[in-house]
Amino acid sequence: MSNERYYSILYQYKQTRKGIGLKQSDYTIATLASHSSLQILKGAKDEGFKTIAICKRDSEHVYKTFNVADEIIVVDDFSELTTLDKQLKDQNAVLIPHGSFVTYLQMDKLMDLKTNYFGNRNILNWEVDRGQQRKWLSKASVIQPKIFKTPDDIEGPVIVKFFGAAGGKGYFLTHSREDFDRKIAQHHGKEYILQEYVVGTPVYAHFFHSPLTGELEIMGFDKRYESNVDSVGRVAAKEQVELEIETSYTIVGNMGLVVRESLLPEIYAMGERVVEASKTLDGVGLFGPFCLETVITPDLKMYVFEISARIVAGTNPYINGSPYTDLRYNEPMSTGRRIAREIKQAIEQNETEKIFK
Ligand code: AMP
């Protein structure tokens, strides 16, 4: 082979690896069939992509009925995603991460995947480590609930949270060392944090930050429906005491919400500061969808108690768009569809290296 030909083939190979010269029809959007996958796959189809759902054996038949996956790959466990890596890469799939990626996959395995991945996976490390998350939010100058270092420091209402995104399962409230010792006994060995319990209304703010345009969009808001905390009000206070009912925070579903309009500037500014601060974490920072989980007090102070650095299930009520996306787009724009639109634009502009990290 002549040198010229050799370098021409090498150049072509490198361009293809960077995604340059590939068309939208060369890509397939793939995700784990859970959490917000129906929205992601539907959004991808609406934007003209082929789709793959990686589905647990026992839920395959349900996912089929929604008709949003062109192909279903059946697994016994989501951790098998790592063994599918080569197949997905050969199909030029783009993985869209969501809450189940954080819950069911080990971080180091996620980092090693060779398949295209929408988002900056470094940032997920910051999401799963509560200490790092706190540093990030501090850099962004958002108000956060206090953290108590040891059970002896407990003062006022405290929420005890376990590590890992398990949907609030097992969280409990406490107010003293004695009460804490009694309640923690059934959770032996689990890592936890002690966080000030802020009395107010929980509001989850959904954002999308485009690395292509540099713009930040408010996608919507939700409130969560958690068991049993959202139902203890159905039992009279006297009975709550007599029955020794203890609150827990297991997520069951999500409900749409609009916030009073005067809160929007501060919420947007918080989102901007969080994106800016993220750039100092690894030089690239956060992009795509994310969520600030807040509690708003009666004097309208917004405490951010957590950040999700990827799509949240709270966007699921808006498969047809939210009141906020309705303002900006003249078509139904879910967060899942917004992700697909960003990928589509990056492909058209030969800029996929900006969105696959
Ligand atoms: P999370 O799993 O972090 O989203 O938390 C589960 C639920 O616990 C939230 O929806 C809130 O209702 C509640 N929660 C979490 N942290 C706090 C806090 N610091 N103060 C008040 N409520 C909280």
- Cα of 305 to ligand 1 centre, how many Å? 7
Which residue has a Cα nearest atom 19 of ligand 1?
Answer: 197
Q: Report residue 135 as tokens.
A: 């540093």
> What average pLDDT does the chain have?
92
- List pLDDT tens digits, range 162-220: 876 465 677 888 999 999 999 898 887 788 889 999 999 999 999 999 999 999 999 99
Q: Is the CB of 148 under 6 A from ligand 1?
A: no
- Indicate if ligand 1 lies below 6 Å from the C-beta of 195: yes
Q: What is the pLDDT of residues 329-344, one digit of tens each?
A: 989 999 999 999 999 9
Tell me the pLDDT band of 3, cut-offs 50, 70 and 90.
confident
pLDDT tens sequence across 30-88 = 999 999 999 999 999 999 999 999 999 999 999 999 999 999 999 999 999 999 999 99
User: Helices (H) and strands (E) in the chain — how many of each?
Assistant: 13, 14
Q: Is the distance from the beta carbon of residue 317 to the nearest atom of ligand 1 less than 6 Å?
A: no
SS3 197: coil
Strands (E) located in the chain: 28-32, 50-56, 71-75, 93-95, 116-117, 147-148, 158-162, 172-174, 192-196, 201-209, 216-228, 249-257, 288-296, 302-308
Residues 6+ apart with CB under 8 A from 50: 25, 27, 28, 29, 70, 71
Q: 224 in ligand 1 pocket by Cβ < 6 Å? A: yes
Residues making up the chain, counted from first to last: 357
Question: Using CA atoms, how far apart are residues 120 and 125, in angstroms rounded to an integer?
Answer: 10
What's the pLDDT band for 13 if we cut at 50, 70, 90?
low
What confidence tier does 307 reach under pLDDT thresholds 50, 70, 90? Answer: very high
Domain spans in the chain, listed from the N-terminal domain onward: 3-144+199-354, 147-196
Question: Is 287 within 8 Å of 256 (Cβ atoms)?
Answer: no
Half-sphere exposure of 122 (CA within 13 A, CB side): 13
Q: Is 94 in the pocket of ligand 1 (CB under 6 A)?
A: no
Q: Please tell me the predicted confidence (pLDDT) of residue 106.
A: 84
pLDDT of residue 257: 97
User: Closest ligand 1 atom, CA of 229?
Assistant: 12
Is 249 a pocket residue for ligand 1 (Cβ < 6 Å)?
yes
Cβ atoms of residues 17 and 81 within 8 Å: no
With bands split at pLDDT 50, 70 and 90, how would you rate the model's confidence at 125?
confident
Higher pLDDT, 131 or 202: 202
Tell which one of 130, 162, 201, 249 to mutate to probe ligand 1, the residue whose CB is within 8 A of the most ligand atoms. Answer: 249
What would the CATH number be for the domain defined by 3-144+199-354?
Answer: 3.30.470.20
* Correct CATH for 147-196 of 3.30.450.20, 3.40.630.10, 3.30.1490.20, 3.40.50.300: 3.30.1490.20
Amino acid 180: pLDDT: 93
- Nearest alpha carbon to residue 58 among 44, 45, 76: 76
Asked whether the predicted pLDDT for residue 15 surpasses 80, the reply is no
Ligand 1 contact via 145 beta carbon (within 6 Å):
yes
Whether 54 and 78 have beta carbons less than 8 Å apart is answered as: yes
Amino acid in the structure at residue 165: A
Whole-number Å distance, alpha carbon 258 to ligand 1 midpoint, is 19
Say if CB 354 and CB 31 are below 8 A apart: no
Provide the whole-model pTM: 0.91
| Sheet arrangement for strand 288-296 | 249-257, 216-228, 201-209, 288-296, 302-308
**Greatest distance between any 2 Cα atoms in the chain:** 88
Q: Which residues contact 240 (CB under 8 A, 6 or more apart)?
A: 232
Residue 135, judged by CB atoms within 10 A of its CB (0-12, 13-18, 19+), counts as middle
Closest residue by CA, ligand 1 atom 12 = 202
- The mean pLDDT value for 221-226 works out to 96
Q: At residue 242, does pLDDT exceed 90?
A: yes
The pLDDT of 227-239, averaged and rounded, is: 92
Q: Is the pLDDT of residue 99 over 60?
A: yes
Domains 3-144+199-354 and 147-196 share a fold: no
**Given ligand 1 and candidates 160, 293, 297, 303, which is best to mutate, with the most ligand atoms within 8 Å of its CB?**
293
Cβ pair 158, 148 in contact under 8 A: yes
- Atom number, ligand 1, closest to the C-alpha of residue 198: 20
Average pLDDT over residues 141-162: 94
Rounded-to-integer distance, Cα 249 and Cα 339, Å: 29
pLDDT band, residue 14 (cuts 50/70/90): low
Distance 339 CA to ligand 1 centre (A): 27
**Nearest atom, ligand 1, residue 204 CA:** 10
